Amino acid sequence: MKPHVNSFVRNTNRVFPAQGRYDKLRYDMNENPEGLPKEFVDSVLKEVTPEFLAIYPEPDRFLRKYADFVGVGFENLMCTNGSDMAIRYLLETFGEVGKEVVTVAPSFEMYWVNCNILGYKHVPVVYEPDLTLKIEKVIAAINENTRIVVLLNPNNPVGNVYTADEFEAVRRRAEEVGALVIADEAYHYFYSRTFLNEALVAPNVVVLRTFSKLMSLAAVRLGVIVGNSVDDNVCGHGVKIFTVNS
């Protein structure tokens, strides 16, 4: 008898980037072709000793420095194995089988991939023919079955951004139905507006950051979740919006 396979996983067709392209410029992956300065990399490699590799990492030192760097509290941060795993954690925690996750389309593929794997209904809000997005359509897509709303700011691959008023309108509507809003800021620093403050004070917002893009550390697989840590802030279904467990 064959082992049981989750039917959602069985029915997910995950397409991976073509392999064997290390000697090419892989523009489809949005990598920095030059990477970090060599002298900086060399200085870091001096600290990568056999003893260093033999111990489990302790993230607190990094998190405290990063908290100071972005101007948030240590208690507002969680580091993850790339922002891909941050996405998975958030969808697993705040999603629900058979319920809905609203995104724009096209957008980062890992959201709908994880929806398929987890048994969620992906609700894509499609761009207009001129590649503009009507925020009213995003708001209209949010209903009592919505558990998560995702806004990439800027969005990949279209590149549109959201005003403070647009984001707040989506956030308010999501809060009415008890849904989490993920502000994915993978391309922050290429565009200065951030919804970091909203993540610190709103009851239903988290921000994702990655070190894979401007920081040129895609191989390190380092991502960060930023959220509020107020004990009585819950996301509609009795789940704390954010707690640190590093």
Complete domains list, the chain, with CATH: 58-227 (3.40.640.10)
pLDDT tier for residue 15 given thresholds of 50, 70 and 90: confident
At residue 184, does pLDDT exceed 90? yes
Radius of gyration of the chain (CA): 19
Query: CB of 90 within 8 A of CB of 180?
Result: yes
pLDDT tier for residue 231 given thresholds of 50, 70 and 90: low
Supply 126's token pair: 């499609």
- How far, CA to CA in Å, does 109 sit from each of 17, 94, 112? 12, 19, 6
Average pLDDT, the chain: 91
At residue 197, does pLDDT exceed 60? yes
Residues near 47 by Cβ (< 8 Å), separated by ≥ 6? none
At residue 243, does pLDDT exceed 60? no
Q: Give the whole-angstrom CA distance, residue 182 versus residue 90.
A: 9
Q: In the prediction, which pLDDT does 183 show?
A: 98
**Looking at 25-34, 85-94, 132-141, which range is the least confident one?**
25-34
185-223: buried (b, 16+ CB within 10 Å) or exposed (e) per residue?
Answer: bbbbeeeeebbbebbbebbbbbbbbbbbbeebbbeeebb
At residue 242, does pLDDT exceed 60? no
Q: How does DSSP assign 112-137, residue by residue?
A: HHHHHHHTPEEEEEEPPTTS---HHH
Q: In the prediction, which pLDDT does 14 show?
A: 75
At residue 110, does pLDDT exceed 60? yes
pLDDT > 90 fraction of the chain, expressed in percent and rounded: 77
Task: Put residue 159 in one of left, alpha, beta given phi > 0 → left and psi -120 to 50 → alpha.
Answer: left
Supply 82's token pair: 């790339």
Query: CB of 179 within 8 A of CB of 147?
Result: yes
pLDDT tier for residue 41 given thresholds of 50, 70 and 90: very high
Q: Give the whole-angstrom CA distance, residue 216 versus residue 207.
A: 20
* pTM of the predicted model as reported, rounded to 2 decimal places: 0.90
